[in-house]
Amino acid sequence: MPAVPAREEVPVESTWNHESVFPSFDAWRDEYQANAAALNEIEPFKGALSESPERLAAWFGLHASVSRRIYTLFMYPVMWQACDGNNEAIKGMVGQAQGLLGQFLSSASFAEPELLAMAEETLQTWLASDELKLYRHYIDDLLRKKKHVLSAEVESVLGLLSDPLSRIESIRSALNDMDLTFGPAEDSDGAPQPLVQSTRDKLLADADRQIRESAWKNYADSYLQYQNTFASAYLASVKSNVTLARLRGYDSVLQAKLSPNNIPVEVFHNLIDTYMQQIPTWRRYWDVRRRALGYETIHPWDIWAPLTDNDPQLSFPDAVDMIAQGMAPLGRDYVETMRRGCLDERWVDYAINEGKSEGAFSFGTYDSHPFIMMSFDGNLSSMSTLAHELGHSMHSHYTRAHQPFIYSHYSMFAAEVASNFNQAMVRAHLFARRNDRNFQLALIQEAMDNIHRYFFIMPTLARFEFEVHSRMEKDEPLTPAMLNEIMAGFYAEGYGETMTDDPRRTGITWAQFGHLYEAYYTFQYATGISAAHALANAILAGDDAEAVGRYRAFLRAGGSDYAIPALKAAGVDMTTPLAVEETFKVLEGLVDRLERLI
C-alpha cells in the first residue's frame, strides 16, 4: 500500500507561506496576549458613541484595528489545522482563537444597538461629515435591519454564545478530519489503496472500477458507522439556527440567512424550481455517460470515472500556466498577480499529506495573502480546483486592495461567482484550442464533475437543508434515519431510472458536507455558477467591449454594495431564473458534445 506522506515530508514550496503571517508559534502567542489586552480599549466607548461624530469615527477606527488583528490571529491556526490536522500544538491554538473571537464579538456588540438608539436624523447629518461619510452604506444597511437587532445586553450574550455555538462545527470537523478512518480501497487484483480525505477524489476518479466502488462504499460506510454522532452535531447546528432566527424575529432560517445580505428568498426558490424542471437533463447525462463508459448499468461510483485513459498529467506550474492563459482577457495585472501568488508568494498549500482536510478553500485576512488549501494531484480536475480557488483569492485580493476594512468582506452569494467564473473562462479557452479527442473527453470530464457538484449535489443539499430546517421550525421530530431517508429520496429523484442507486449509502451524503453548518450556503454555489457563466459568456462573445471592466468593478466592490445590485451592474440579474436557465444550456451543450464524441 503506497503511503501518504507525513506533513514534514512534503516540499516546503508546496505549503502555504505561514511564516509571512507569524514567524513562529511564540510570535502568535505574543500577539494573542496583545489582542486580549486590546479588548480593554473597547470599554470606554460603551454608551459614548452618540457624543459626537468624532467619537463615533474613533470607534469605527478602533473596531477596524482590533478586528483586523483578531481575524488574522484566528486565521493562522485554523488554516494550519486544515493543512496539518495532526499537529497537537495547533489544536489548542484554534480553541484559544475561537474563544478570543467570541470575547471580541461580545465586547463590541453594544455598538449597533447604540447606533440604532440614536435619532436617525442625527445619524444622517453626521454621515455628511468627512470623518463618517465612508460609513453611509454600513449605516443605511444597519437601519434596514433595525427590527432584527436586539438590545445591547442580548447582543452581548449572543456574542459570547458565538464561541460555544461554533464548537458544534468544530466537533463535526474533528470527527471528520482527524478521528474518522476508512477501510482501504482495493484494486481489481485485490491490492489495497489508502483511503483518506485527501485521496478520496483521486480514487473515485480512478480508471479501475473496483477501486472506485470500494472507495465509494468504504467512505460512505465510515460515515454510516458514526451517523448518530454526525446527526447529533448537525441537528444541534440546525436547532441553533432556528433559535437565533426566532430571537431576531425572522420568519424562517432561510430569511434570517438571506435578509442580512438583502437577498429575496425568491432567489432560493427560483433556483430550486428551475433545477427541478431540468432534472431530465441530468438523467440524460447519466445515460450518455453509461454508454461512454461501455457499461450495462451505471452506479454512483461511476459518476467520476474517467472518460479517457489519457487524462493529461500536469505539474503545479503547468496548471498555473494553463489558468493564466485562460484568464488573459482580464488583463496583464490580473494574470501577473495570480502567477506571483502561486509561484513566488506561496498562496497555495497544494501538498497531499496525512492529516490534511478534504476539499479545498480560499482563506485569508485583510492583512495576509489570500491563501488556498487544496490537494493537487496533477490532473485537469486539480487544475480546475486551483482555478476555482484562485477566483476566490483574486476576488479577495482586489476587494482588499480597493475597499476599506469595513467593506472588505463580500457576501457568500457573491463569493461563488468569481470562483466559477475562472473555471468557465479557462474551460472555454481549452475547448477552443485543444481539439484532440482524448483532451476534449478529459475536459468534458472535468467540466461535468464541476457542474455535477454545483448544479446537482449543491441544489440537492439545499433541498435537504430546507426540508430539515422546515421540520425543525415546526418542532417536528428528526432522527438520523429520517435525515438519511430525506437525502436518499432527493437523490433518487435526480437519478431516476437511469442510475442504479445504493440508497442506504447515498442517504448518508449529508454527513459528508461541512457546508451544511453554514445554513443555506449550498444553494449559493448554484446561483454563483449561474452568474459566473452568464458573465463569462458575455466576455467570451467579444461583442461587449465594456464587459471586462464591469466584471473587474464587481471584483473591486466587495461589501460596498449588496450582491444583487453589484451583479446587476456587472451584467446579470439574479432575481430572475434566466442565468440558471442559461447555465443549464451549458450543461446540455456538454452532454451533446459528449454524445457526439462517443
Q: For 343-377, what is each residue's pLDDT tens digit?
A: 999 999 999 999 898 789 999 999 999 999 999 98
Please tell me the predicted confidence (pLDDT) of residue 465. 97
What does the pLDDT average to over 307-331? Answer: 94
Same domain for 120 and 246?
no
What does the pLDDT average to over 593-598? Answer: 94
Please tell me the predicted confidence (pLDDT) of residue 155. 83
Q: Is residue 430 part of a domain?
A: yes
**Is 460 a residue whose pLDDT tops 60?**
yes
465 is catalytic: no
Look at residue 349 and give its three-state secondary structure: strand
Same domain for 155 and 255?
no
d(C-alpha 432, C-alpha 593), whole Å? 13
Same domain for 151 and 281?
no
Please tell me the predicted confidence (pLDDT) of residue 359. 84
Same domain for 259 and 126?
no
Contact 196, 7 (CB under 8 A): no
Same domain for 552 and 457?
yes
Please tell me the predicted confidence (pLDDT) of residue 430. 96
Q: Which amino acid is it at 319? A: A
Q: Is residue 176 part of a domain?
A: no
Same domain for 256 and 111?
no
Contact 71, 366 (CB under 8 A): yes
Residue range of the domain that includes 89: 7-168
How many percent of the chain have pLDDT more than 70?
A: 100
pLDDT band at 198 (very low <50, low <70, confident <90, very high): confident
pLDDT band at 62 (very low <50, low <70, confident <90, very high): very high
Q: Which of 389, 416, 446, 465 is catalytic?
A: 389
φ/ψ (deg, to 5) at 268: -60, -50
What does the pLDDT average to over 411-435? Answer: 94
- Give the pLDDT confidence of 513-529 residue by residue, as tens digits: 999 999 999 999 999 99
Q: Considering its fold, how many domains does the chain have in total?
A: 2
d(C-alpha 510, C-alpha 496), whole Å? 19
Please tell me the predicted confidence (pLDDT) of residue 157. 84
Please tell me the predicted confidence (pLDDT) of residue 311. 81
Please tell me the predicted confidence (pLDDT) of residue 464. 98
- pTM equals 0.87
Q: Is residue 593 part of a domain?
A: yes
Of the three residues 168, 189, 210, the one that is the final residue of a domain is 168
Same domain for 304 and 441?
yes
CATH number of the domain to which 148 belongs: 1.20.140.70
d(C-alpha 262, C-alpha 142), whole Å? 11
Q: Is residue 203 part of a domain?
A: no
Same domain for 155 and 289?
no
Please tell me the predicted confidence (pLDDT) of residue 415. 92
Same domain for 124 and 262?
no
- What is the 8-class DSSP label of residue 379? S
Please tell me the predicted confidence (pLDDT) of residue 165. 84
Same domain for 151 and 268?
no
Same domain for 429 and 508?
yes
**Is 2 a residue whose pLDDT tops 80?**
no
Please tell me the predicted confidence (pLDDT) of residue 79. 96
Same domain for 160 and 280?
no
Of the three residues 168, 185, 203, the one that is the final residue of a domain is 168
d(C-alpha 270, C-alpha 573), whole Å? 12
Please tell me the predicted confidence (pLDDT) of residue 361. 95
What does the pLDDT average to over 477-481? Answer: 97
How many percent of the chain have pLDDT more than 90?
A: 87
Q: Is residue 52 part of a domain?
A: yes
In the predicted model, what is the mean pLDDT of the chain? 94
Q: Which amino acid is it at 317? A: P
CATH number of the domain to which 435 belongs: 1.10.1370.20
- Give the pLDDT confidence of 222-250 residue by residue, as tens digits: 999 999 999 999 999 999 999 999 999 99
- Give the pLDDT confidence of 541-573 residue by residue, as tens digits: 988 889 999 999 999 999 999 999 999 999 999
**Is 1 a residue whose pLDDT tops 80?**
no
d(C-alpha 422, C-alpha 413), whole Å? 16
Residue 573 CB neighbours (<10 A): 13
Q: Is residue 369 part of a domain?
A: no
Closest CA to 106 of 49, 147, 163, 62: 163
Q: Is residue 218 part of a domain?
A: no
Q: Is residue 212 part of a domain?
A: no
